[in-house]
């Protein structure tokens, strides 16, 4: 009866063999598809891969107004900040360095 380590080694070899087989089959399928595309003179548009016409339409882009969050903080010169992730605006960094608290700038 094989030991755990022997079975584990066999499993690893089988996984490596399966991955190699997958790669080879993928290469074969791609080569076959390319040959058929060339034989039939197909284009990306024929296959529905082109969005120029007949392809899948792209999702509309959201405008900057749709993306922006409501302002939670207002700076001394009217600047706004939503308090989201990422870097703090320079006016917030400067105010905090001067000893001010973020709560001092909350929009009420």
Q: Are 34 and 26 in contact (CB under 8 A)?
A: no
Q: What DSSP designation does 103 have?
A: G
Distance CA(40)–CA(33), nearest Å, equals 11
Is pLDDT above 60 for 24? yes
Asked if 18 and 39 sit in the same domain, the reply is yes
Q: What is the number of domains present in the chain?
A: 2
Distance CA(46)–CA(55), nearest Å, equals 9
State pTM to two decimals. Answer: 0.42
Asked if 18 and 54 sit in the same domain, the reply is yes
Higher pLDDT, 20 or 103: 20
Domain limits for position 98: 64-105
Is pLDDT above 80 for 96? yes
């Amino acid at each position: 009866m094989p030991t755990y380590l022997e079975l584990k080694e066999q499993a690893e070899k089988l996984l490596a063999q399966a991955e190699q087989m997958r790669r080879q089959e993928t290469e074969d399928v791609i080569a076959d598809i390319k040959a058929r595309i060339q034989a039939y003179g197909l284009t990306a548009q024929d296959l529905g891969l082109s969005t120029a016409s007949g392809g899948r339409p792209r999702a509309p882009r959201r405008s900057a107004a749709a993306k922006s969050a409501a302002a939670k903080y207002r700076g001394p010169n009217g600047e706004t900040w939503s308090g989201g992730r990422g870097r703090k605006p320079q006016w917030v960094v400067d105010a905090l360095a001067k000893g001010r608290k973020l709560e001092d700038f909350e929009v009420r």
